[in-house]
Structure 1
Amino acid sequence: MDDRQFRNAMGKFATGVNVIATEVGGEVYGMTANAFMSVSLDPKLIVISIGDKAKMLERIRQSGRFSVNVLSCEQQDESMRFAGQKQFEDKFEFDRLGETPVVKDALCQLSCEVYNEHVEGDHVLFVGKVEKLALEDGDPLIFNCGKYRRLEAPEEVLSK
């Protein structure tokens, strides 16, 4: 199989959209990602996957911390900004959760310390120990088959 076919196959799995953020030398950096999952309740651990050519990789290594920000369906612009899909003239203003920069109004903000790191293929998996979290109500932004999507309840659920 070729790389494009593999990417298309992986794109069939619908995911939430996240912005990973970190701070190095007083400068905050963000990157859109969808490779994120929970790992453990005790201790509270999550994992993110960062490509080995991504600038964010060394930034997380330098800072030793990062945030995961689960975007709402109203935050497609934020996703596009940090994916480099759309240019904005204004500088993005991050909020803070503890010592970590976070995206304002994200459905979930997780402030993490790097707990472990694993090199796997052309990506690095960062295991983060969740130190603080904040939750908001709303529906998540979804990505599937190369497109942004929203959750929609099936008709049979709506009619009940």
Structure 2
Amino acid sequence: MEDRLFRNAMGSFSTGVTVIVTETNEGTHGMTANAFMSQSLEPRLIIISLKEDAHMLNKINESGFFSVNILSEEQQDLSMIFAGQVKSAKKVEFDYLDGKPVISGAIAQITCTVKSEYVEGDHTIFIGHVTEVHLEGGEPLIFSKGKYRRLEKAGVTANSD
């Protein structure tokens, strides 16, 4: 099977867009990722997956913590900045939740300590123990088939027979 066929098939699955953030002695670091999911309610665990050559991998190993920031539909510019798709002259400001850096205005901010990690294929899977959550209003930024998308509000009508 060709790599492009596999990538296109995986890209058919629409996801939210997150920015993973951590902090080391060298400063605050972030990267855009859509490989994120909840794993367990008790205990509260989430999963992120990072490619083996991602700079963020060493940063999380150094810090032992990270935050997952689910971006709003108004934050596409931040997604592109942290994905390295655009350079920005503006400095990204971070808030703090539970002593960990988070993206201001994200519709959900989830802070975690690293519980465990597993190397599988060309990625490292981090299991994060959730330490705090903050929610904001707004609609999520969506990524599907290589493009940013927005949710369309569906009208629901009741059939009155």
TM-score, with normalisation over the residues of structure 2?
0.95
Describe how 1:1-160 pairs up with structure 2 within 5 A.
1-155=1-155, 157=156
Q: Deviations over 1:58-107 (max 9, x none)?
A: 00000000000000001000100000111101221111111210000100
Give distance in 2, aligned partners of 1:64 and 1:93: 22
Give distance in 1, aligned partners of 2:57 and 2:114: 12
Give distance in 2, aligned partners of 1:38 and 1:95: 23
Q: Residue 138 of structure 2 aligns to a residue in which SS?
A: coil
CA RMSD of aligned residues (A): 1.0
Give distance in 2, aligned partners of 1:9 and 1:26: 38
Task: Report the Cα offset of residue 153 of structure 1.
Answer: 2.6
Which protein is bigger by CA-based radius of gyration? 2
Task: Report the Cα offset of residue 27 of structure 1.
Answer: 0.1
Give distance in 2, aligned partners of 1:9 and 1:31: 23
Give distance in 2, aligned partners of 1:113 and 1:35: 17
Gaps (5+ residues) in structure 1? none
Task: Report the Cα offset of residue 132 of structure 1.
Answer: 0.6
Task: Report the Cα offset of residue 118 of structure 1.
Answer: 0.6
Give distance in 2, aligned partners of 1:90 and 1:77: 11
The number of equivalent residue pairs is 158
TM-score, with normalisation over the residues of structure 1?
0.96
Q: Deviations over 1:1-25 (max 9, x none)?
A: 1111111110000000000000010
Q: Could you list the runs of 4 or more consecutive aligned residues of structure 1 that deviate by over 6 angstroms after TM superposition?
A: none
Gaps (5+ residues) in structure 2? none
Give distance in 1, aligned partners of 2:98 and 2:12: 36
